[in-house]
Amino acid sequence: MYGMNDIVWLTMRRMRLPLIVLLLVFFASVLVMVTLPGVNAEGEPVHLSYLDAAYFVAIMSTTIGFGEIPYPFTDTQRMVVLALVFPNVIAWLYSFGVILQLLLDRQFQQVMARSRFGRKVRGMGSDSFYLVCGFGSTGYVVVQGLLARGKRAVVMDADEDLVHARALDPRFTFTPIFGGDPTIPANLERAGLERDNCRGVIITTDDDHANLTMAITSKLLRPSLPVFARSEDDRVSDNMRSFGTDHVINPYEIFAERLYLALTSPIKYLVQDWLITVPGKPMRHRKLEPRTGRWIVCGAGRFGSQVIERLARDGTPYTVVDVHPERSGDYEGAILGRGTEAHTLKQAGIEDAVGIIACTGDDIDNLSIIMTARELNDKLFQIVRQEDQRNTPLFDKLGADLVAQRSLIVARRILAVATNPMLATFLDHLVHENDEFAEKVFARLKACVETYCGQGVEDWPSPQQWTVELDASHAPGAAALFEADMELTLSYLLHNTRSERDEDLHCVCLEIERGAQRLFLPANSTRLQPGDRLLFAGWGRARHEMMWSLEDPVLLLNYATPGPAPRTSIGRWLWRRRQADSGRI
């Protein structure tokens, strides 16, 4: 009701003078009409009652004019009425004018928007949601990803024009979106920060100081709530970690790690790429094939310096090209220039380099660097940085081997760690395992997506990831088997128990969490236990059908036994007795 109080207060404040004028004119007119004598049908003098006078002044001033009551007016009364019409109409017009001004007033519209936003947040009831601060390129992708994964979001951004433009997207019809400064604690509270069903705060703006403010505010107001914050400055990142920010996302560090993975283990890079692909984005089909040798890095700013540091740590030779002498001077053999000129690249040894990384802060310069480099050496492995999403068609047309987008890098990492903690554990295990493990994961996922899409189809959709927990509240179907002391293997969950055909679901179990134990890429014959948590990746209706099996009390029983199982509790109890008597269980 905080927003409604604001509306009432603002309305009364703006309408105070018009209402006073309107009431004074009205009551003065009523008084005049009451004191002025008229004549009835018998010719006797009469006075209007206060009720008749108020009624007449009301219909006169609003120009409705139903007639003269209760008797036709005398000439004197009509002359007075003519004199009273003008101040009454002017008072009404003045009031209407102020109301129109109020409706068009920016402050009033903001108050109304706050009130609608608060109602929408409260209207979410007990549905869990993530509070997303920042609706720029990164926040936009994050919210899309959350909705695609069946999560709800509450969104806030200080740029009202941006919010209004993006709120027109029909996918966000039921998502509360507010154009307000998320660094203000009251706005975060209004967005539901302290509500029990708020599952985490995701901070995605490109302003490090604002992100730091929001992270501190969130941790102070709700210490137990997970906070996922973007930071591009090492000092700010360290600051965030110092007060317990759960996940600090630095796009430059992440890209440097991903680049290292792409150069050292393309198969791990590909599997990781598949599992963190934002829903709705196409999947990469083939492994990257970078060659071993010397690289050229154009641009040694924050992005480039992280890449250079990673190459140096890996022992990969490189040559730096940068237009700023104070930067290029830090690297041995660096070339002074942008890299957009052929002579600069020749000076850097482009002819015998194996790859080039264009990572300046200017998209057009980066495009130019790659195009110029191709003219000089068409066998180069090409990596290019993209800043502005509006240039995506140009980068798609360029066809570089790898495109680094800050917004997409941050969004992918946030979605991976925020929406599915088991996926983050699996990805960490993948990076530290050998290539043979990654090949097994790749083979299972590829077989699955090819079966789902059909052979020869190149446009593979990104997989969904979901987690199931085998307890009585989340999986009564599995609990029924455990109660009957029957075996439940992973293969049961991978089968479509509602289909009359022998049909497997298009999904792969990536991990089983059993207490402190982790089983990665378990075999289908793995026997499951009560309390197990399982992570799946799959396509199509796999998740939907699996949930049917787990939530229905008899589908898994039917699949596990030769005959149909009874649906009622008493029937299942009798059925278990008969099975026990016959020695089947």
For 262-318, the pLDDT digits (tens) are 888 999 999 999 998 876 677 777 788 888 899 999 999 888 998 999 899 888 999
Same topology between domain 125-249 and domain 291-400: yes
pTM: 0.77
Mean pLDDT computed over 238-258: 91
Neighbours of 90 (CB within 10 A): 14
Q: Which residues have C-beta within 8 Å of that of residue 457, sequence separation ≥ 6?
A: none
Instruction: Please tell me the predicted confidence (pLDDT) of residue 380.
Output: 94
582, with CB counted inside 10 A (0-12, 13-18, 19+), is exposed
Kindly give, in sequence order, each residue whose CB lies less than 8 Å from that of residue 176, ignoring residues fewer than 6 positions away: 117, 120, 121, 124, 154, 155, 191
Top CATH class of 125-249 equals alpha beta
**CA–CA dist 5, 12 (Å, integer):** 11
Cα atoms in the Cβ-side hemisphere of radius 13 Å centred on 449? 22
Buried b or exposed e, range 304-313, using 16+ CB within 10 angstroms: bbbbbebbee
| Count of helix runs (H) and strand runs (E) in the chain | 24, 18
Distance CA 512, CA 535 (A): 7
Three-state helix/strand/coil letters over 171-216? HHCCCCEEECCCCCHHHHHHCCCCCCCEEEEEECCCCHHHHHHHHH
Q: What's the mean pLDDT when you consider all of the chain? A: 88
In this predicted structure, the answer to whether residue 511 has a pLDDT above a threshold of 90 is yes
SS3 labels along 474-531:
CCHHHHHHHHCCCCCEHHHHCECCCCCCCCECCEEEEEEEECCEEEECCCCCCECCCC
Per the listing, tokens 């009202």 go with: 160
Q: For the chain, what percent of residues have pLDDT higher than 90?
A: 46
Q: Which fold has domain 463-581?
A: Alpha-Beta Plaits (3.30.70)
The dihedrals phi and psi of 153, each to the nearest 5 degrees, come to -140, 150
What number is the average pLDDT over the span 417-439? 91
Residues 136/157, Cβ–Cβ less than 8 Å: yes
Q: Are strands 517-520 and 507-514 parallel, antiparallel or unpaired?
A: antiparallel
585 confidence band (pLDDT: 50, 70, 90): low
Q: Which residues pair with 409 in a beta bridge?
A: none
pLDDT at 519: 95
The domain segmentation of the chain, as residue ranges, is 4-104, 125-249, 291-400, 463-581
What is the second-level CATH architecture of the domain 4-104?
Orthogonal Bundle (1.10)
Mean pLDDT (whole number) for 200-217 = 94
DSSP symbol at 471: S
Phi, psi angle pair for 17, to nearest 5°: -65, -45
Q: What is the DSSP string of 43-100?
A: S-EE---HHHHHHHHHHHHTT------SSPPPHHHHHHHHHHHHHHHHHHHHHHHHHH
Residue 75 CB: number of other CB atoms within 10 A? Answer: 7
Distances, alpha carbon 255 to alpha carbons 150, 272, 308, in Å: 27, 13, 12
Spatial strand order in the sheet of 177-179: 177-179, 152-157, 129-133, 198-203, 227-230, 247-249
CA 170, CA 203: separation in Å to the nearest integer? 23
pLDDT at position 574 is: 67
Tokens of 470: 């085998």
For residue 4, the surrounding DSSP H or E stretch is helix 2-35
Q: 260 φ, ψ to 5°?
A: -60, -40
Q: pLDDT band for 407, please (50, 70, 90 cuts).
A: confident
Cβ–Cβ under 8 Å, residues 377 and 353: yes
The HSE-up count of residue 43 (CA atoms within 13 Å, CB side) is 0
What pLDDT sits at residue 279? 67
Say if residues 29 and 88 touch (Cβ distance below 8 Å): yes
The amino acid that residue 267 corresponds to is: I
Decide: 134 and 406 in contact? Cβ < 8 Å: no
Given a cut of 80, whether residue 447 has pLDDT beyond it is yes
Give me the long-range contacts of 390-397 (CB less than 8 A, separation at least 24): 391/363, 391/367, 394/363, 394/367, 395/363, 395/367
Instruction: Return the H-helix or E-strand segment holding 248.
Output: strand 247-249
The larger pLDDT score, comparing residue 499 to residue 367, is at: 367
For residue 10, what are the CA distances in angstroms to 5, 16, 99, 112? 8, 10, 11, 10
Contacts of 227 (CB under 8 A, 6+ apart): 200, 201, 203, 215, 218, 219, 245, 246, 247
Class level of CATH domain 291-400: alpha beta
Is the confidence at residue 569, as pLDDT, over 70? no
Which two structure tokens, joined as six digits, stand for 382? Answer: 């090409």
Residue identified by tokens 């439940």 is 488
CA atoms lying within 13 Å on the CB side of residue 24: 10
Angle separating helix axes 406-419 and 251-264, nearest 10 degrees: 90
Task: State residue 7's pLDDT score.
Answer: 78
| pLDDT value of residue 568 | 62
